[in-house]
Amino acid sequence: MEKYFNNFSLVLGAIGGFSAGMLGGWDILLKTMIILIILDYVTGILKGIYNKELSSAVGYKGIIKKVMILILIALAYALQSSIDTSLPLREIVNTFFIANEGISILENAVGCGLPIPAKLKELLIQLRGDDEDADTASIANHK
């Protein structure tokens, strides 16, 4: 049994190392992104349970979106690495999606009837780099 566990750990480590390399390294931005992806997915499930709207189809779409976020971060890193530029493209894309996931977590909290701290909402909207729009309308006027 220990042999299987060691082999499983080896394979999982190789996949993790390869993935982190494709995403530009295991830094604080990537750690934050992974944590927020997990938290957004979990809070989405909790919101679905709370509102009695839990759907596997919605869950699968959520997973696809999370994978696409990671693909876009990998794309940004590949472009940044292959083009002679001082533009921190990977960091810009990562920060945008960190803010987006944070806003989504707040929307899920609102969907469960929780109040949202105004400063947290403002910070995430500012971090994302745009004004309030349709994506943030559900939390914009929530006290």
64-97: per-residue pLDDT in tens? 999 999 999 999 999 999 987 889 999 999 999 9
Number of domains comprising the chain: 1
Q: How many CB atoms lie within 10 A of CB 91?
A: 16
pTM higher than 0.95 for the full model?
no
Which tokens is 102 given? 């944070």
Which tokens is 74 given? 């990998």
Nearest to 103 by CA among 141, 140, 71, 72: 140
Could you state, in chain order, the average pLDDT of each consecutive group of 10 residues for the chain (143 residues)?
Answer: 77 81 92 97 96 93 96 96 89 95 93 90 79 54 51
Instruction: State residue 16 phi and psi, 5-degree precision.
Output: -65, -45
Domain that holds residue 107: 2-140
* Length of the chain in terms of residues written: 143
